[in-house]
Amino acid sequence: MSSIYISGENYVLTTTPAITCRLTYEKQRKGNTAYYRFKVEVMPNNSTAFAYNLKLDITLNGKKILSGGALKDIQPGKWSASYTRYFPHQTGWYQVENVGNAETLPCSVKFYSTQTNGSASASRVVTVPAADNHVSNLSVKVGGAWKNAAAVYIKVGSAWKQASAVFVKINGNWRNA
């Protein structure tokens, strides 16, 4: 594994037989909070039986967010098709507050069994979704009344013109509102 990113890699447990898991994640951002959902695909095992549990730990931005997440119970010992598990679950999200302008966050994963030896782990990064610099529903105060910015008029010379674009300064950068 040579990527700096935790996602999209195959993690091969040093168990007998070797078990392969593939981890990816989804991300989204609202304001200064980033949200993550992890997806693990456990690859088929139709050779030697693996009648042990399979667990997952995830540490995100220095905080252990998952400890002993169940990837597989003791049975079945063999499976012919890959299957998928989501953490925290298929519709849930882990959140990391105050991400600011960070582009990546540290993340580590560990795949293991509590019943037999063999594991796979990595410490890398996840990407942080870019901040939404688009301002929606901008209102301006005109003559004591708040107006939608789309209805703002500016006097140019002696004629009033409707503003075609309004810009605001966000973190030192001008953005189209």
User: How confident is the model at residue 1, as a pLDDT?
Assistant: 44
CA 73 to chain centre: 26
Neighbours of 1 (CB within 10 A): 13
Contact 66, 93 (CB under 8 A): no
Q: Rg of the Cα trace of the chain? A: 25
Contact 115, 74 (CB under 8 A): yes
User: How confident is the model at residue 163, as a pLDDT?
Assistant: 67
% of the chain exceeding 90 in pLDDT: 60
Contact 20, 46 (CB under 8 A): no
Domains (range + CATH), the chain: 9-127 (2.60.40.10), 139-176 (no CATH)
User: How confident is the model at residue 9, as a pLDDT?
Assistant: 86
b/e burial code for range 99-115 (CB count within 10 A of at least 16 → b): beeeeebebbbbbbbee
Contact 129, 29 (CB under 8 A): yes
Lowest mean pLDDT of 57-66, 92-101, 132-141, 166-175, name the range: 132-141
* Integer angstrom CA distances of residue 140 from 93, 167, 170: 35, 12, 16
User: How confident is the model at residue 45, as a pLDDT?
Assistant: 85
pLDDT tens sequence across 35-65 = 999 999 999 987 788 999 999 999 999 999 9
User: How confident is the model at residue 149, as a pLDDT?
Assistant: 64
pLDDT at 4 over 60: yes
Contact 27, 129 (CB under 8 A): yes
User: How confident is the model at residue 8, as a pLDDT?
Assistant: 85
pLDDT at 115 over 60: yes
Distance in Å from the first CA to the final CA of the chain: 43
Query: Would you mind telling me the total number of residues written for the chain in this entry?
Result: 177
Neighbours of 52 (CB within 10 A): 20
pLDDT averaged over every residue in the chain: 86
